[in-house]
Amino acid sequence: MSEFKGYKGKSLDFLQKNSIKVGDTVEIQDGVKYSGIIMPRYEHGDDKHIVLKLKSGYNVGLELEKIQSVQKIPSKESKAKNTEDIKKNPLLPKILLLSTGGTIASKVDYRTGAVTPVLTAEELNMSVPELAEIANIDTEVLFSEYSENIMPENWQKIAQRLAEFDKSDYAGIIIAHGTDTMHYTSAYLSFALAGYPIPVALVGSQRSSDRASSDAALNLIGAARFLVGCKTNGIFVVMHKDENDVDIACHFGTRVRKNHTSKRGAFQTVGDAPAFIVTGKEIRRNNSSEFFKEKKYQVKTNLKTNVALVKYYPGYDPDLLEKILELNCEAIIFEGTGLGHVGKVMYENIKKANEKGVFLGMTSQCIDGRISMTVYESGRDLLDLGIIPLEDMIPEVALVKVMWALGNTSDKEEVKRIMLENIASEITN
């Protein structure tokens, strides 16, 4: 039962005897007074403890034998806020906040222990009152999905909605998004809306907004300050720079990836410095990339998803590549070793793919550095087999770019030209 999730034996008897369950607020004495919420437990935990979430946001395990008293505290109905609680200031710029889900738009369900996407864009706005001091925030929910469930059709929906605001008076647009696949979305938007006339900030959080250690509020505040003060345009990912609650990093949408599973400073610009750093109210340009050069705005949201990202490793079975070709894949992005290599065992099927007109692009498994396939004989062999070196493009970005390129042209030579053109700073200087 979810109301006693993870509890068994003595701990379950304790909860039932005291008429309390997961999600209830209690006050417990065991020599020290604790107030908090009864949390669920792992199914394989012992039956000698209960877990309490304190007001600080941290959990504490309490040993049953040491508990002197327990009292259930009746829950108080919180007064619902409404949009009138946040006054519009006509002197402030406007920002649009679009919510797509993810941890930044989630709360912990204390009855199940799950983090669920339940916050609306409006609730996000109201949960961070500092935003109202920076800009007038309009809110809209596009959909509510964890980022692993966001598919290319969701990217298109975001892009199409953004295109409707390209002539608006918004100073910028925030997209609340889950972190795990945020760099895929930012890459697609960078290509589909190249030259977009106002700045767009994809913002997430590593920890849900109701946790004491959440980074959601500071990320949102930093993004809002960036949008109203950056004096630039384009697609950015805006997140904590490191573990400290001081600096917010604004990364180009095609040069960023998530490099840590849980740290608040998980996102890093690959091969360069973040475009901007926000410290308090200060915004400083941090990168001299060609990204800042004026680009012609174009809306091209089509894409094709029958492409593959192949990570080569010793022992890779070339028959797997054969299967990919049988699925009529139109492009393969290789994540090769070092300067851009795969083993000779792959050569025959690479040749077949090239003869079928499949686009073949090479990236590197290395976090940083450029492809250089002329250094070694093996690299030169792969060039002769039709593989195109993709400079220092991040593998995931190359995958998204080829999806987008194939969606906008059926000419194989044009696909090749597009993949080598630096459209949105996906290739560094």
Question: Are the C-beta atoms of 118 and 269 separated by less than 8 Å?
Answer: no
Query: Is residue 39 included in any domain, yes or no?
Result: yes
More confident residue, 244 or 295: 244
Are 70 and 77 within 8 A, CB to CB?
no
Concerning whether 179 is annotated as a catalytic residue, the answer is yes
- Active-site residue among 25, 100, 139, 179? 179
Q: What would the mean pLDDT of 408-429 be, rounded to a whole number?
A: 94
pLDDT digit string, tens, across residues 168-183:
999 999 999 999 999 9
State whether 8 and 100 are in the same domain: no
- Tokens 């929910």 correspond to 141
**Is 425 a domain residue?**
no
Strands 170-176 and 94-99: parallel
pLDDT tens figures, 141-151: 898 888 899 99
**Catalytic, out of 103, 139, 269, 301:** 103
Q: Which of 5, 25, 139, 180 is catalytic?
A: 180
- Specify the pLDDT at position 371: 96
Whether 125 shows a pLDDT value over 80: the answer reads no
Question: 365-374 long-range CB contacts below 8 Å, 24 or more apart?
Answer: 365/311, 365/312, 365/335, 365/336, 365/337, 365/338, 365/395, 366/338, 367/259, 367/270, 368/270, 368/271, 368/392, 369/271, 369/339, 370/339, 371/336, 371/339, 371/340, 372/339, 372/340, 373/339, 373/340, 373/341
pLDDT at residue number 87: 75
Whichever domain contains 96, its CATH number is: 3.40.50.1170
pLDDT value at position 316? 97
Among 100, 258, 269, 428, which one carries the catalytic annotation? Answer: 258
Query: Tell me: the pLDDT tens digits for 248-305?
Result: 999 999 999 999 998 989 999 999 899 999 999 999 998 766 655 667 899 999 999 9
**How far is Cα 209 from Cα 253, in angstroms, rounded to an integer?**
24
Same domain, 28 and 51: yes
Same domain, 65 and 102: no
pLDDT of residue 121: 61
Please confirm, yes or no, whether 409 is among the known catalytic residues.
Answer: no
Q: Flag whether pLDDT at 399 surpasses 80.
A: yes
Are residues 224 and 324 located together in one domain of the fold?
Answer: no
Task: Say yes or no: 183 and 97 in one domain.
Answer: yes
Residue range of the domain that includes 114: 83-292
77: pLDDT strictly greater than 50 = no
**Within a 10 A sphere around the Cβ of 59, how many other Cβ atoms?**
12
Mention every residue, 6+ apart, whose C-beta is less than 8 A from residue 200: 162, 172, 173, 174, 175, 189, 193, 234, 235, 236
* Predicted confidence (pLDDT) at residue 11 exceeds the cutoff of 90: yes
Can you give the pTM of this predicted structure? 0.82
Residue 188 and residue 155 in contact, taking contact as beta carbons nearer than 8 Å: yes
What pLDDT is stored for residue 3 in this prediction? 80
Say if 232 falls within a structural domain.
yes
The answer to whether residues 356 and 389 belong to one domain is yes
Same-domain status, 59 and 8: yes
Last residue of a domain, one of 30, 48, 73: 73
Higher pLDDT, 55 or 229: 229
pLDDT of residue 108 exceeding 70, the answer is no
Rg, C-alpha atoms of the chain: 25
Beta bridge partner(s), residue 95? 137, 172
Looking at the structure, tell me whether residues 123 and 149 fall in a common domain. yes
- What is the percent of the chain where pLDDT is above 90? 70
101 part of a folded domain: yes
Whether 355 and 212 share a structural domain: no
pLDDT at 351 over 70: yes
pLDDT digits (tens, 9 = 90+) for 312-350: 999 999 999 999 999 999 999 999 999 999 999 999 999
Q: Is residue 255 assigned to a domain?
A: yes
pLDDT digits (tens, 9 = 90+) for 191-239: 999 999 999 999 998 876 555 567 888 999 999 999 999 999 999 999 9
Helix, strand, or coil (residue 304):
coil
Residue 400 in this model has a pLDDT that exceeds 90: yes
Indicate if 133 and 23 belong to the same structural domain.
no
- Within-domain flag for 195: yes
What CATH number does residue 58 fall under? Answer: 2.30.30.520
Instruction: Select from 28, 48, 73 the last residue of a domain.
Output: 73
Assess whether 374 carries a catalytic annotation: no
CATH code of the domain covering residue 325: 3.40.50.40
Q: Is residue 356 part of a domain?
A: yes
pLDDT of residue 59: 79
Can you give the pLDDT at residue 81? 42
pLDDT band of residue 105 (cuts 50, 70, 90) is low
CA angle 228, 166, 305 (to 5 degrees): 110
Q: Is the pLDDT of residue 78 over 50?
A: no
Catalytic-residue membership of 180: yes
- pLDDT(157) > 60: yes
Average pLDDT, integer, range 342-368: 97
In the listed set 73, 101, 125, which residue is the last one of a domain according to the structure?
A: 73
What rounded mean pLDDT belongs to the chain? Answer: 89
Higher pLDDT, 51 or 121: 51
Mark whether 106 and 180 lie in a shared domain: yes
Average pLDDT of the residues in 344-366: 97
**Among 34-38, 99-103, 220-224, which is the least confidently predicted range?**
99-103
Look at residue 335 and give its three-state secondary structure: strand
Same domain for 222 and 173, yes or no, is yes
Number of domains in the chain: 3
Residue 320 covered by a domain: yes
